[in-house]
Structures are given as C-alpha cells and as structure tokens.
Amino acid sequence: MALSSDEIERYARHLVLHEVGGPGQNKLKGAKVLVVGAGGLGAPLLYYLAAAGIGTIGIIDHDTVGLSNLQRQIIHTTARVGLPKTASARESMQGLNPHVKVIEHPTRISADNALGIISDYDVVADGCDNFPTRYLVSDACYFARKTLVSAAVGQFDGQISTFKPHETSPDGSPWPTYRCLMGDLPPRGLFPACEEAGILGALPGILGAMQAMEVIKEILGIGDSLTGRLVMYDALASRFYETKLPWNPDNPLTGHDASILSLDQSNYRDRS
C-alpha cells in the first residue's frame, strides 16, 4: 500500500520514527478503528486518529451537537449546533485529513446492533458517557474478539485501560474485562452525569488524547500495552496513578461460571 507524495509529507514526523516508519504508517493506513461517542473523549480521540492517518474510522453516536457541548467537544463548532455529531465530526476530520475514510453510524449502540458494527473494525475505542453502554461495548468486544481501549472521566479525574479478554495473560488466565474492574452494573444515579456534576473542559482532552495514543500503539504493536493495567489521572493534583487490573474468576462474562453467553439487552439496563 504505497503512500502518496502528499501522505509522505503529511506523515513525515511519523516516517522518521524508527518505531513507525513506512511499514508502520501503512499499518495505520490499513487499520479500521471504531470510536463509540463523539463527545468529550471522542472529540480529541477522533481528531488525533484522523491526524495519524488511520485509514478507516467509524463513529457511532445518536446525538446532535448542542451549545453546551462546545466547552469540551472541540471537534464540533458553533455553526454546527443541531447537526448530528457523526456528521459534524466527519467534516472536521476530513477537513484535517482528506485521506481518512470516515464511516458514520448515527444511531444508538444496542445489544441488537453492537456485534454487527464492532465486527467490522480492528480496534474499538469507547468514549461514551454512561455505564450501560460501557458494559455493552466491553461485552461485545469480547464476543467479537476485538481489542478495546476504554476511558472515563469525572469532574477532575479520569481513568484509562485496554481490554483484551479474548486473549490470555502470561499466567494462562484471561486478561481482565471491564466487568473485572467495575463488577456489577452500578445503579442509576450512583455516579452523576456531567450535566449534573459538571466537568472541567480540558480534562477529557487529556484522556481522549491518551486513548488515541493507546489505539495507535496497539495497531503498531509498539510500547507497553495498558492491558491488565489501569491508569488514573488526578487533574487537580497533577498526578498519575497506576494499578494492576487482574482477571476476576467470578465475573459473569469470562469467569469460571460465566452466565453472560450472548448480548442481551436486559444485561445493560440501568438499575434503580
């Protein structure tokens, strides 16, 4: 897959990196990445994936651009308020890099469509803003055997990890799933949404950029994966923390007595 003269100039800073070079840039060009959510995390994530030259980027989001989004969702503009977020994001991404193919999925991801959409991609990056969707995306990636890079943010903090539960760790056990991190689906209201609690706009920019970095690393096969590790960021203290994330043998997806054998919408309903 030869790079055009425009691409060679565009990706010049990648091409001089020993860990990337021409072969690595062609890996990026041949990759297909799905981003769940074109909001606070998805905005910088999508921008950096497009800038890096990911050949095909899918965006799934059912929402439209609102004025209150623009404090943090930098891929959208004031002129696009009211437009579907997938269309707004695509316009910005292709304005930045016309070599990138953007596929819009202007719908809500569900147990009915998740496997069909996710199966078409190599890597999934989850930037959604609610727990039912995070659990659904994680479970679907397990069944589709796709690597998942997942991040979440609070008011002044965030976390990120990579999940590959379809693969085994060096000790022979599966790598952890999102369910190993969070356990059962939290009841509605336990963690208030950002429209209720607020969020500092630059924070999802940091975590979204980190997601893009981890996606690129997974595609290129470079560096240390975040699989089996959880990185947390405290913005007010300007500190990063890391902890190991082990497989939970009691989790209902990949545990010894697994009870989740397929995607069922009842597994992803908010509990009151």
Mean of pLDDT over the chain: 94
Span 204-229, average pLDDT: 98
Q: What is the pLDDT of residue 41?
A: 98
Q: Are 177 and 254 in contact (CB under 8 A)?
A: yes
Span 178-192, average pLDDT: 79
Distance of CA 111 to the CA centre of its chain: 18
Residues 6+ apart with CB under 8 A from 158: 151, 152, 203, 204, 206, 207, 232, 233, 235
pLDDT in tens, 106-164: 999 999 999 999 999 999 999 998 999 999 999 999 999 999 999 999 999 999 999 99
Single pTM value for the model? 0.95
Query: Which of 165, 160, 158 lies closest to 150, judged by CA?
Result: 160
The CATH number given to 31-268 is 3.40.50.720
Extents of the domains making up the chain: 31-268
Q: What is the pLDDT of residue 272?
A: 46
